[in-house]
Structure 1
Amino acid sequence: MLKQRKNSEWGDISQVDATLLLIKEAIDAKKDYDYICLRSGQDLLIKNGFKDFLLNHQNQLFIQCREIREAELRLMRINWPKVVKKRFTNAHPLKLYRRMLFSLYSKGIFKMGRKI
């Protein structure tokens, strides 16, 4: 458990803040951890053996990276209003608005730095 609590919302920068806080507290604990496993609510272990798996794969990292295409970068640069980031039902007007903006950006209709 964390000493300091961090309220985080799905898809928000607060998730990054909470992750950094977890890593900081693990480092500050001055324990010799082999791994730090960060899981969220849906990352439940469904079978036994996770600890054994890590023991059998010592000194290995389980992080992947890939090159980000320009089209994906355009979408990442969107400064979504906080209210639009929340989860909504399919018929909610803000979700429809977000879907429309996403579609326009992904088609390149809006260019970063260009005024409409």
Structure 2
Amino acid sequence: MTDPKLYFEAHVFACTNRRPDGHKRGSCAERGSEKLREYMKARSKELGLEPRIRINSAGCLDRCELGPTLVIYPEGVWYTIHSPADIDEILQTHLVEGRRVERLMLQPDQKELRSEQRG
């Protein structure tokens, strides 16, 4: 049996997990992920990406120190995001053009943000 056709061409999961203020790991919501996700959803509609692209909130993606974070499937590419400009760049470059935003990409073994990734 073969896998069914993808329901969405891409599925974006944006962490909007919130921990109590002062938690040692922090949280993506504490760093503004909820507003960034709402911006991303609205902007994707403006660009005509929906309904082929789906943007969802996610609970903890367990990369709190690198947040706010999002992951795009089916590729499994992770990004750190800090501004609407970061969102615009990811939407255009990754989801429209099929390329990667290397300066915002997170590597599997990455434990802290590089200087160019800080918001």
Give TM-score, length-normalised by structure 1: 0.28
Bigger Rg over Cα: 1
TM-score (norm 2): 0.27
